């Protein structure tokens, strides 16, 4: 067993990467790993200096193989249900992060691993990555948001195909169906992911948070209600120093220097 933390935190300026650190178990989501992720996410959500949050797996084989089935095998029904509830709470916490979130699929992402990626705003995949919600092969269903979030990404018909058949897809297939945002070279994976987050950082951090808040909160609202949410978030940005800086930089023909204020 490694003495290293279950989650490694890597900071690159305003971007923080959370690295799942159980490579010997293909970064499977044990109870302890889930708890560690929740703790980090809680702190990051309250940190205004963090503009983007990324999640990646340690090692070259897997982003995350899903729930830790060896651990799950030792549980009774009540404990297993508690573990599933914990996974669902984790995915909901990821989805609710105020910052844009990026999953870097450096390898296999199955079951809860893909559900974790689906809870992120963007999914970048290595050209060698393979993924799927294969729970029906284990006589269960994706119970941590997969049945809800996969159709949002690929459409209902394709989601039925993937979930009911327990299909696995490679990165190019996933890109074609809209499951991943980009397919990256496995040899320069982290560098390309950093380049992607650099593009995100070109947007004002307050604006990124506000736009995400509107996009996520409008589901289920009437058009009138959704427009009210958008109006409120738009108005909240008017007094910001970043908005003034953006206008000044535009007229001075230079890159704006945002500070999240």
**Beta-bridge partners for 53:** 16, 101
* CA–CA dist 106, 87 (Å, integer): 21
Q: Which of 14, 28, 67, 193 is catalytic?
A: 67
How far is CA 171 from its chain centroid?
16
261 an active-site residue?
Answer: no
Q: Which of 115, 119, 144, 146 is catalytic?
A: 115
* Residue 121 main-chain phi, psi, to 5 deg: -75, -35
Q: Which of 125, 135, 171, 204 is catalytic?
A: 135
Answer yes or no: are the C-beta atoms of 227 and 209 closer than 8 Å. no
* CA–CA dist 100, 98 (Å, integer): 7
Q: Which of 112, 145, 146, 204 is catalytic?
A: 112
The pair of structure tokens assigned to 260 is 């999240």
Please give the radius of gyration of the chain, using alpha carbons only, rounded to the nearest integer.
19
Identify the residue whose tokens are 């950093």: 194
Answer yes or no: are the C-beta atoms of 105 and 125 closer than 8 Å. yes
* CA–CA dist 70, 104 (Å, integer): 25
Answer yes or no: are the C-beta atoms of 34 and 26 closer than 8 Å. no
Answer yes or no: are the C-beta atoms of 21 and 63 closer than 8 Å. no
115 an active-site residue?
Answer: yes
**Which residues are catalytic, by number?**
67, 112, 115, 135
């Amino acid at each position: 067993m490694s003495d290293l933390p279950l989650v490694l935190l890597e900071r690159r300026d305003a971007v923080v990467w959370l690295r799942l650190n159980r490579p010997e178990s293909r970064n499977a989501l044990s109870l302890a790993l889930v708890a560690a992720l929740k703790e980090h996410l809680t702190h990051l959500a309250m940190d205004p200096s963090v503009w983007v949050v990324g999640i990646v797996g340690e090692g070259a084989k897997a982003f995350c193989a899903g729930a830790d089935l060896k651990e799950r095998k030792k549980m009774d029904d009540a404990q297993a249900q508690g573990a599933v509830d914990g996974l669902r709470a984790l995915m909901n916490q990821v989805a609710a992060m105020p910052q844009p979130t990026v999953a870097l699929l450096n390898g296999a992402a199955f079951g809860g691993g893909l559900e974790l990626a689906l809870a992120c705003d963007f999914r970048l995949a290595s050209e060698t990555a393979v993924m799927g919600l294969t729970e029906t092969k284990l006589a269960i269903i994706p119970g941590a948001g997969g049945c809800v979030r996969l159709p949002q990404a690929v459409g209902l018909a394709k989601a039925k195909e993937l979930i009911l058949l327990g299909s696995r897809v490679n990165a190019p297939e996933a890109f074609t169906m809209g499951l991943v945002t980009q397919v990256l070279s496995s040899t320069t994976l982290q560098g390309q992911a950093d380049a992607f987050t650099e593009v995100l950082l070109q947007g004002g951090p307050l604006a990124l948070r506000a736009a995400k808040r509107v996009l996520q909160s409008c589901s289920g609202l009437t058009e009138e209600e959704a427009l009210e949410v958008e109006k409120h978030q738009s108005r909240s940005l008017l007094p910001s120093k970043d908005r003034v800086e953006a206008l000044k930089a535009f007229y001075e023909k230079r890159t704006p220097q945002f500070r999240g204020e």
